[in-house]
Amino acid sequence: MWKLLCIAACLPAFSQDWARERLDKSTRHQEWLYLKHDGRTVDTFIVYPEVSQKTPVILIIHDGQGLTEWAQSLADAVAEAGYIALAPDLLSGMGPKGGGSIDFAPGTVAQGIAKLPPEQIAAYLDAVADYARKIPAANGKVAIAGFGWGASQALRFAASHADLAAVYLFGAQERPPSTPSVFDFPGPADFMRLGDAPNASGPAKKARDDAWEQWKKLLAKL
């Protein structure tokens, strides 16, 4: 297995060493894609599972911290579970000098998030979903998973894309409609990220572990 990883100079200012270590140790094929849409480019991290059969694609929508190393390691964990994971950087082109999440100074990502036009987010997600449907190793099913701020974006995107196989919302700021294909995982703020750290404990870790086990069971039903 080979993988293309962002070079050290591209690491974000809010580096998460434990997440980077997980990525570096992974044997799965990781790659950066640069998907074009209406004159813009959305940087997207893709991880392939080590399976022989075609599999669903899960879109990973990052939280308000941007496409951090944790978000990338989450995509790798989804691939480890047996699914193709696509994690777009919705801050692509919004950072200093036209960069993305990795180019923001510490503590300034929220400013970039606040400036994101809803139509740009929708366009980026359309580009990623279109790509997902054409992946040769995929079986045609596309689901979306959002985390924190990303949960709201995933829910909004799903409202106009009835073809999504499932919608998974982690720490959503708004309660989703009660429909068979929408799954809500409530918990403390940022529990999936905070509960995933090696030294995590308390409510965030329990909520993360419980949600992850339930999510894997739901993914197996796709």
All structural domains of the chain with their residue ranges: 24-219
The per-residue pLDDT for 13 is 38
pLDDT tens, the chain, 222 aa long: 333 333 333 334 345 899 999 999 999 999 999 998 878 899 999 999 999 999 999 999 999 999 999 999 999 999 999 999 999 999 999 999 899 999 999 899 999 999 999 999 999 999 999 999 999 999 999 999 999 999 999 999 999 999 999 999 999 988 777 788 999 999 999 999 999 999 999 999 999 999 999 999 999 999
pTM: 0.91
Q: Where are the beta strands (DSSP E) in 24-75?
A: 29-37, 40-48, 55-61
- What distance lies between CA 22 and its chain's CA centroid? 16
CA-based nearest residue to 189, from 201, 172, 214 = 172
Which homologous superfamily does the CATH classification assign to the domain defined by 24-219? Alpha/Beta hydrolase fold, catalytic domain (3.40.50.1820)
The per-residue pLDDT for 67 is 97
What is the identity of the amino acid at 62? H
Terminal CA-CA length for the chain: 26
Alpha-carbon distance values, 82 to 77, 183, 198, 214 (Å): 9, 19, 23, 15
